[in-house]
Structure 1
Amino acid sequence: MWELGLLALLALATVREGVFIGFGKMGPVMLPLDRHVVITGPTRSGKTTLAKKIIRRARLPAVVLDWHGEYDVRKVDSRLLKFNLAALDKKLLCELIGLSLNLTEASVYFLYRAIRRAEVKSLRDVITALDDFLVSTRSEVEMKAAIARRLEYIVDVFERGAVPVDLLFKAKRPVAVDLSKLRLYEEKVLVTLFIMASLYNYLFSRGVAKRPTLLLVVDEAQNVLKRGDVVRYLVFESAKYGLRVVLVTNEMPPGEILVHSNVIITKPHFTYNMDIRRPTLISNNKLTEVWIV
């Protein structure tokens, strides 16, 4: 019974001390929340299970971007979310749409030209502005049609929203955005990017925070990390506003992400090019083997 009591005490450790994740050779191992967190490892190596434990033990509000409906917290169907796109800078909005739809730089700039003077509150407004935009060359006609076609494929997902996305950020308990009911990969990516951008705006309006105030858990994070500098900027800049992003990924993130993160490798893999044999926490250039519990 004493083991259960010890685990209970460790699980109640303060945010300042970190989050208990297991035992090492020198005793309990705490995950610092002084920076973002990367949980990486091959498929079925316990990444999601560990993320659930961190959410439960951190005792912080949390928003989970749940790609497969696996997190056992209060859920919100992503199709019910309402995004106020008017709150986003139009250049950023075009970048996010371009990243999710794999548009070329030329297409992203064309989209920006089409919407920069329009009133845009929803994705349907983006399509309307694009339709109204006058073009004069055949290449522009083809580009306009291609962008409009891709937007039409996904716009339905964003037209039933009734729950303002900002309500997620004000919740006192963890809440998961269930993306599993979205059929298209592009839909999941765009919802994820819209939430990240909306959250950044929300935190920016509140100002700099001295300690962690909110967790953002991004499941299948490899799907957004490879989407360019905009995503990395949203991750990097959010830390000073009290957000700690937990990136759950089956691929080792780029070096610039790792530099700004505490990394947990749930299972070694030869592609990581690291001499480790057990689950390991990497924090402040120090490697600590962990028996995760």
Structure 2
Amino acid sequence: MWELLLLATLLAVSLNDGVFIGVGKRGPVYLPLDRHIIITGPTRSGKTHFAKRLIKRSGLPALVLDWHNEYPWLRVDARWLKISIEKFDKKLLAEILGLALNLNEPSVYFLYRAIRRQPLHTLRDVVTALDDFLVTTRSEVEMKAAIARRLEYILDVFEGGRIPLEKLFSTKKKVSVDLSKLRLYEEKILVALFILASLYNYLFERGVAKGPERLLVIDEAQNIIYRGDVVKYLIFESAKYGLRVVLVSNEMPPQDLLVHSTHVITQPHYVYNLKIKRSAIIRNNKVEELWLI
């Protein structure tokens, strides 16, 4: 067994077919970086450890959305971030706020109407625009009050930041954004969505890339991937601009995400409905079992 592991390690150094991740029945197994990556497994099955190895071996700059303060690289407290919304499309901004605050579709549209012609720099400006928006019916009064109340709950976390997101996007280092210090679940969701959308805008302005240039690792990804088509759109479209999104989840993602990603399962579980006995990599409907290293 040790001879096999040594051989795999040596081959990993000499071959350039992707990131070496383990050994299968036919030898070393490499994970290509030509598409997004999904890492799935039950709790305590090694998902985080595998993601750390993947980040290190890829050699690419990486930004990690760290829910539990588990990633070892340069840590940035999410409360230190300065999140600007100036460049956000108003429809996208309304959608993101709606997803994070669990607003229904009429409320999202109401919010969009309130902000669509207003200059916005911070979330405080969103609240001001909402306050100034004239309403004519009782239902609109109630809707306006409900949205404002939910926004007020999360404003504090966005008003003390000093580190612009662009600094995280432009660095060549590996950086983890520590979300564990945020008290509310909605705050974590909103920061994660803002970072995803802001990074997409940043890369869009730079133009189409020839290959993978950066990783965005989203820990506990099950918390955001089911929150609407806008999330999947941002993930899908970011690939052409050199971003590879690594989704670390203990739940099986939606089918359309699986189709367009390479899927690694760290440990089999009956809920995944796959006939495998150990870790596996799934790509183009082909399943290959392996020992992760």
User: What TM bracket, shorter-length normalisation?
Assistant: over 0.9
Matched with 1:145 is 145
Runs (4+) of structure 1 moved beyond 2 Å?
A: 1-14
Matched with 2:91 is 91
Rounded to whole Å, the distance in 1 between the matches of 2:26 and 2:187 is 45
Matched with 1:118 is 118
Where does 1:64-79 land on structure 2 (aligned, <5 Å)?
64-79=64-79
**Equivalent AA in structure 2 for residue 28 of structure 1:** P
Matched, 1:193 2:193: yes
Aligned-pair distance for 1:286? 1.7
Where does 1:24-43 land on structure 2 (aligned, <5 Å)?
24-43=24-43
Asked if structure 2 preserves the Cα contact closer than 8 Å seen for 1:11 and 1:57, the reply is no
Cα RMSD (Å): 1.5
Q: Which moved more, 1:189-198 or 1:281-290?
A: 281-290
Aligned-pair distance for 1:13? 6.2
Name the TM-score, length of structure 2 as normaliser: 0.96
SS at structure 1 position matched to 2:51: helix
Q: Which runs of 5+ in 1 are unaligned?
A: none
Matched with 1:161 is 161
SS at structure 2 position matched to 1:86: coil
The 1:117/1:31 distance shift into structure 2, 3 A limit, reads same
Asked if structure 1 preserves the Cα contact closer than 8 Å seen for 2:22 and 2:292, the reply is yes
SS at structure 2 position matched to 1:290: strand
Matched, 1:58 2:42: no
Count of aligned pairs: 292
Identity over aligned residues, as a percent?
67
Aligned-pair distance for 1:11? 5.4
Rounded to whole Å, the distance in 2 between the matches of 1:132 and 1:254 is 39
Aligned-pair distance for 1:285? 2.1
Rounded to whole Å, the distance in 1 between the matches of 2:197 and 2:213 is 17
SS at structure 2 position matched to 1:128: helix
Rounded to whole Å, the distance in 2 between the matches of 1:97 and 1:184 is 15
**Equivalent AA in structure 2 for residue 234 of structure 1:** L
**Equivalent AA in structure 1 for residue 46 of structure 2:** G
The 1:274/1:43 distance shift into structure 2, 3 A limit, reads same
Matched with 1:225 is 225
Rounded to whole Å, the distance in 2 between the matches of 1:12 and 1:171 is 26
Matched with 1:249 is 249
**Equivalent AA in structure 2 for residue 118 of structure 1:** Q
SS at structure 1 position matched to 2:72: coil
Q: Which runs of 5+ in 2 are unaligned?
A: none
Rounded to whole Å, the distance in 2 between the matches of 1:165 and 1:145 is 30
Rounded to whole Å, the distance in 1 between the matches of 2:88 and 2:288 is 41
SS at structure 2 position matched to 1:87: coil
**Equivalent AA in structure 2 for residue 232 of structure 1:** K
